Amino acid sequence: MDEERERRIRARAYEIWDREGRPDGAQEEHWRRACEEIDAEDRFGHGSPAAETGVASPSQPGAAIVDRPLQSGDPAPNVVLDAISREGKIALSDFRGRSPLLIGLFRGLHCVFCRRNVAAMAQLKPALGEKGVECLAVVNTPVERARLYFRYNPAPHLLIMPRCVV
């Protein structure tokens, strides 16, 4: 393994370990996932998402702005957001290379249309799952408020986008 590739894998494995709460004994799984992600990036002719898109990973201070539009076939930059449906965080890189992913972006739970569409997306999830498509909804609402809302209106695999990102 060349030094540059090993450095990239080591950094990615650290990101995964850190994002998952720094668990003990998961280093082999984190290394395997990091290898898969780096290999996928290399296969598509891209370096790290931060280098290609100008977007720093959440562990890097001062995330930059995307300096060019993403093109069809470009890997999405890795975004790590707080999970609503469970404790912890969810990252787009967790889904990379597994299956197609439908991402719904919603303005917030204050929007009646967004609430309706989140519910519709939750209803479609089983049918899409049968076809091998995973679903992920990104909702721009404070995490405490969203968790309260979804305690009474359950919908799986939800994320929260910080208010300052909109």
In the structure encoding, which two tokens stand for residue 153, read together? Answer: 């209106």
Identify whether the C-beta of residue 23 lies closer than 8 Å to the C-beta of residue 17: yes
User: What's the whole-model pTM score?
Assistant: 0.55
Identify whether the C-beta of residue 157 lies closer than 8 Å to the C-beta of residue 146: no
pLDDT tens digits along 33-46? 888 888 877 765 54
Q: How far apart are CA 41 and CA 44, in angstroms?
A: 5
Q: Where are the alpha helices (DSSP H) in the chain?
A: 3-19, 27-43, 49-53, 112-130, 143-152
Q: How far is CA 96 from CA 8, 109, 111, 117, in A?
A: 16, 27, 30, 24
pLDDT tens digits along 69-98? 777 777 777 888 888 877 778 888 888 878
pLDDT tens digits along 108-164? 888 999 999 998 998 888 899 899 998 888 888 888 888 888 888 887 666 666 544
> What are phi and psi for residue 158, nearest 5 degrees?
-105, 150
Q: How far is CA 161 from CA 15, 81, 83, 90, in A?
A: 19, 6, 9, 11
Identify whether the C-beta of residue 85 lies closer than 8 Å to the C-beta of residue 158: yes
